[in-house]
Amino acid sequence: MRARHGLPSRLARWLYSLAAYLLSPLIWWRVWREWLPTHPRRERLGFITVEGDRPRLWLHAASVGEVVTAAPLIRSLLDDHPDHDLIVTTMTATGAERVRQTFGERVSHHFLPLDFPISARRFIARLKPRLAVIAETELWPNLLAACRRRGVPVVVANGRLSGGAFRLYQRFGALSRGMLETVAWIGAKSPLDAERFVSLGAPATRVTVTGALKFDLAVDGETVAASRRLRANWGARPVWIAGSTHPGEDEQALIAHAALRRRFPDALLILVPRHPQRFDTVDAICRERGESVVRLSAQRPVTAETAVLLGDTMGDLMRLYGCADVAFVGGSLEPIGGHNLLEPAALGVAVVSGPYLDNLREIADTLAASEARLEVVDGGELGATLISLFEDDDRRHRLGAAGRAVVEANRGALQQTRRAVAAMLVASTNET
């Protein structure tokens, strides 16, 4: 395979592999902390142990966000292909924990190996998957080459390319083309994503615009019931949540909450930092500001005097969203790119975000166009918006209902992806 301009793709991958080996001390240091006692670090070199002789499906979801997005697809793969074992890989320890919490023993988990040629080949040789499904777009040249060498079809589900990622792939055109030419099918989130994949080298006949898999978010009755039970303990008071917050956003949320409490003194903020290593830091920030804080993990009662409930557990964000009247979704007041706006929307909770939403621009615009999302620029504006929404129950309820309607109207990516996976499995079986 040769790129239209510049290096042949095979030479580009050789140079990429050489750079990876030269940088291996730095790469290894970076992933050293992404570790769990149940997963030996040698998994990062492809040394995995796979038991049983049933055919296997492999799904990769980089971290927590991708695991949450891929959860409906994982459930569908388990339901659609009960005669296969499903192996899920992640890059991060928090992603691994989310897999365990969500699916328990129904799936097996391994850490993805570093993308050295030998490690990639060893991993695929030991796993022997019938099919590989990549959630979103974490594409690794040597892993894809190892799949091609073994005849493993690769599907990209919920494929997206942000402007920054697209420009990065363009800079390494031969390498990108060599990867994408080997992918069997790409389910793109939007027409723009599809156009970008094709321009980078994916055959147009293998790219389908499915819409965002996040719209197929499942809201189970147990989660709703758990939210109602928890909320019932707090009485009739204004409750809002700041979910998946990053450094800088916690302070803005507390500024907004102070303004809200001047108007509604009994208001409660549920504050959920994105990363667990920040739980203690955010607790200290709240206490330094004089807020009365209860940590969810402590299982202490939330009283009338409690100003902040700190969500310091993993896997409870949906339950906590369901307790709130208004949800601010983090990663959007700081230039992070935004997190999942559809989780609160699917629950009928009014959605507010900041302006930095590059990671989910189409979803954000769809919600805004349907008057299902409000946008603020800082803690002061967030506080004013919260006051407005709690003073106008009808407006707040309309905002929440509009978000739920958007989610229902845009479902469908999951079914298209399921059909593509089934077709690839049939084709793979016929070739063997």
Residues carrying an active site annotation: 66
| Three-point CA angle 356, 358, 360, nearest 5° | 110
Token pair listed for 401: 């209902």
CB atoms near residue 307 (< 10 Å): 22
Token pair listed for 72: 């409906």
Tell me the C-alpha distance between 12 and 377, whole Å. Answer: 43
- 3-state DSSP helix/strand/coil % of the chain, to nearest 5: 55, 15, 30
- Residue 18's alpha-carbon distances to 14, 44, 116, 177, in angstroms, are 6, 18, 9, 19
Question: How would you list the strands of the sheet with 85-90, edge to edge?
Answer: 108-111, 85-90, 56-60, 131-135, 154-159, 185-188, 207-209
- Residue 334's alpha-carbon distances to 117, 287, 324, in angstroms, are 37, 23, 23
Token pair listed for 371: 């008057």
Strand partners, 127: none
Phi, psi of 392 (to 5 degrees): -130, 90
Token pair listed for 82: 């009960």
| Three-point CA angle 196, 131, 128, nearest 5° | 130
Query: What letters, b where the CB count within 10 A reaches 16 and e where it falls short, cover 227-266?
Result: beebbeebeeebbbbbbbbbeebbbbbbbbbbbbbeeeee
Closest by CA position to 186, among listed 236, 138, 141, 134? 134
What is the DSSP secondary structure assignment for residue 295, as one 8-state letter? Answer: E
Phi, psi of 5 (to 5 degrees): -135, 145
